[in-house]
Chains A and B, each alone.
Chain A
Amino acid sequence: MSLDPPAPQPAPGPAAGTLASPPASGAPGAPPGASAADAGPPPAGTPVSPRVRDSWRRTRGVFGVLAIMVVLAAVTVLIASPRPGGRLDSEATTPVGAHALAQLLRDQGVEVRPAGTVEKARELATPDSLLLVGRTEFLADSTLMAELAEVPGDRLLIEPVTQALQALAPGVSAGALTDVESREPGCDLPAALRAGTAMTGGVSYNGPAGSRSCYGGSVIAFHAAGRQITVVGSGDFMTNERLAGDGNAALAMNLAGARPAVVWLVPGLPQTSGARREGEATLTDLIPPGVNWAFLQLFIAVALVAVWRARRLGPVVAERLPVVVRAAETVEGRGRLYRSRRARDRAAAALRAATLDRIIPRLGLTGDATPAGVVAAVAMRTPLDSHQAGALLYGAAPDDDAGLVALARHLDILERQVRDS
């Protein structure tokens, strides 16, 4: 009996009606049964990959929308978002920045020269400029302070630390700390008088002889070595947030705009004395400039290798697989249940029932034999007495697992004895 597939399958006629179309898995409309595989000429392939221009046509809308989104986002960020920066930064538009003041000064014809470092400040400063120094905690370095002290022109110190006070405003000492609140000038400094009340406070200072102390000592102005030095205990009135209140804007402009140009030294990061000693070079200085670019080139190479390896030769083929269910799963589950509940009674009953099922026909009994009859027959055919046989076949459930194992083995022995007898 061979199983050669008949090459020309005859059409299903009245004599051989064949129907084998599985409704669940078969494709709808597929010709049924054996004739499905044989019909038709050898099929030619049809390209299924999209052409380049097709994929471009399909995706260009997405690219266009993405481009528009990127442009819109960039414009929005540039226009609307606050420019970040530290406190009193001349470019920061955050509440604690000072972009508003810098802008007002520029509008009034004062040239604002932002300087991020002491070195830069020295370059930008001229004898007719005013040096505005803030965030002096970032300048706490004696070398820097000495350099800064050589900068020509007037000085406006905002919240100076003690070291800065000593270096840049000699003779001024810090006094008590006061609340920042709206205060009257209380002095004859023209800048303060013209401004009127202002949000001042913070540290109050004791100036040298000849100094003018305004706003309860929080603004001190004096002449020293041919320059005007002003010390301000709190820069709050200069910030974007507070500038519009009281006479804050007037006071700030009067103080900072006293000269045609202001060098704005408010560092955002701790500064160090930058002058490096001769002959000392860090590791990065010793690396030739080509190395960084070579690494970039290697990165490109790695990216190209990734593209090479990532490209599959054709798509992943998926397949519907039949479910894998082991038929014995329910039995294993029942066994585990017995085990977890230590169901020795049920286990023993199942084992005894199986043994009885097997030995009763061999004993020449029928299915409706009584226990007493079975025990008597067993006692007759095996070395066991009727008491032992009864305990083994119809006794109580074992007390522990060892008893259960022993019971199972004894039942096996009994079965063998009955079989061999």
Chain B
Amino acid sequence: MALTGRTGLLAALGAIVVLFAPQPAVAVLGVLALLTALVVADLLLAGGVRPLRLERSGERRVRLGDAVEVTLTVTNPGPRRVRGLIRDAWSPSARALPRQQSLDVPAGERRRVVTTLTPSRRGERESAVVTVRSLGPLGLAARQGSHAVPWTIRVLPPFLSRSHLPAKLSRLRELEGRHPVLIRGQGTEFDSLREYVAGDDVRSIDWRATARRNDVVVRTWRPERDRRVLIVLDTSRTSAGRVGVDPASGDPSGWPRLDWSMDAALLLAALAARAGDRVDFLAHDRTVRAWVSGASRTELLSVLVNAMAPIEAELVEADSEGMVAAVMARAAHRCLVVLLTDLNPAALEEGLLPVLPQLASRHLVLLAAVSDPRVAAMAEGRDTAEQVYDAAAAEHLRGARRRMTARLRRHGVEVVDALPDQIAPALADAYLALKAAGRL
């Protein structure tokens, strides 16, 4: 039950009656009794909320940053009209608007109520309850009740770096050429034999094949294909740190490293899938959080974003030993292991470095880390002594990261250390460079 402002207004008007009544005490009681009677009558005549039938339809998925509409169908099987307010409540970060809407469902009919969600962060957003306030004919009081109408919206990673994809794909095409190339070199494998045409390099003539046939035949080569790429996402505490500016909400407190890493991973996966490589995905902190394997080229991205959507950074220390064991168990053949983690010297020193030789002995390891633009900005400060102290602290960290990078490179690990908005293209470039060099 709920009252409206009219009840209060009526009671206030009653004060005037009381003021001029010959027997004010009786008048107070009379006004009170009248109000109570009207409110009770209104409640009895209001349409029932409990018998309402509510059904949902609409989207189940939305990319972070996009809006999604969820439709609620309200059916009124009762004998009286239901008129009043309805609120479709979602968790706050789903940003459901409008917060409340007016509702008018005549008896036996149904109406649709559309709520627009613009989620502000990745993950699963669940609806809370739907609350209906049904006003009586006098508008003095209302019946109110809630219905649980479960619905889940999966907010997918936005894949902001997809704008870089065309440029990287054209570089990939440059690399492999629209047509098979004739030059044998690193990163190529034998493709086929074809007839010699004027202009072909005479050095690529396959004399043995020419001897078998009457034509001159040349060998053609193409970049290696069907390599394996395993993207390993570190979801431990270092991935919870916020860097840069949240591109979804513009929040200056930043976006978690995890989300930047996911963005880079998606660009790499899209590129590698186009290049004909097989992409697997593993998310790990102390246990395996997600594992995607063997997805076909066409559905790889949708499977990946679905697997990534519910992953949150856990505030635990990464178990690098377990991560290496998980990688070794899942990747039997040599592959490119792309580790998306933070280049945190202390954490790497204790966690990854001891087990890295084991991993690097069988696989090619590429470590990609998101660096913090705030640290870069601090390192530039020269105006006051305070800024110089901050700059010294920032340089201290950057020096430690440089030394860690050098140590990793000595282990044969490729390192990509880039600012948040640069990490995805930088990782794609590193992949293309490895591919061009035939090191996959």
Question: Which residues of A are at the interface with B, using a C-beta cutoff of 8 A?
Answer: 1, 3-6, 15-26, 33-34, 36-38, 42-49, 51, 288-298, 300-302, 304-305, 307-308, 311, 313-315, 317-319, 321-332, 334-339, 343, 346-348, 350-351, 353-354, 357, 401-402, 404-405, 408-409, 412
Contact = CB atoms under 8 A, between A and B. Distances in A.
Given A313-B131, A319-B91, A328-B375, A347 B392 contact: yes
A307 B32 CA distance: 15
B30 to A, nearest CB: 10
B392 to A, nearest CB: 3
B429 interface: no
Secondary structure at chain B's binding surface: helix, strand, loop or mixed? mixed
A294 B146 contact: no
Nearest to B73: A42
A3 B63 contact: yes
Interface string B368-385: 000010110011001011
B357 interface: no
A38 B290 contact: no
Contact of A319 (B19, B92, B150, B296): B92
Interface string B137-150: 00000001111111
Nearest to B396: A350
The CB with the most chain B CB atoms within 10 A, among A16, A301, A330, A353, is that of A301
Given A23-B287, A313-B133, A353-B395, A16 B55 contact: no
A294 B16 contact: yes
Interface in B238-268: 240-243, 253-254, 256-257
B131 to A, nearest CB: 3
Interface string B401-413: 0100000000000
A40 B156 CA distance: 21
Nearest to A341: B389
Interface of B: 2-5, 7-9, 11-12, 14-16, 18-21, 24-25, 27-28, 31-32, 35, 49-50, 52-57, 60-61, 63, 85, 87, 89-93, 100, 121, 123, 128-131, 133, 144-152, 154, 156, 159, 162, 165, 240-243, 253-254, 256-257, 270, 274, 287-296, 299, 301-303, 305-308, 310-315, 342, 372, 374-375, 378-379, 382, 384-386, 388-399, 402
Contacts of A346: 392, 396
B312 A25 contact: yes
Contacts of B393: 331-332, 334-335, 337-338, 347, 350
Contacts of A326: 241-243, 253-254, 374
A325 B315 CA distance: 11
A282 B270 CA distance: 90
Contact of A291 (B19, B100, B121, B128): B19
B240 A290 contact: no
B291 A19 contact: yes
Nearest to B7: A304
B388 A301 contact: no
Contacts of B152: 36-37
Nearest to A52: B1
Contact of A317 (B5, B50, B90, B386): B90
A21 B141 CA distance: 47
15 contacts: A17-B294, A19-B307, A42-B56, A44-B55, A44-B149, A45-B130, A46-B147, A294-B15, A311-B144, A313-B131, A317-B90, A317-B92, A325-B242, A328-B378, A329-B241
A244 B24 CA distance: 53
Can you list the 6 inter-chain pairs with the closest CB atoms, starting with the nearest? A327-B241, A314-B131, A293-B24, A45-B54, A347-B392, A401-B385
Contact of B289 (A17, A22, A402): A22
A41 B259 CA distance: 32
Contacts of A15: 294, 296
Given A293-B18, A326-B374, 4 more contacts: A1-B274, A46-B148, A315-B146, A353-B395
Given A26-B310, A307-B3, A322-B256, A49 B240 contact: no
A10 to B, nearest CB: 8
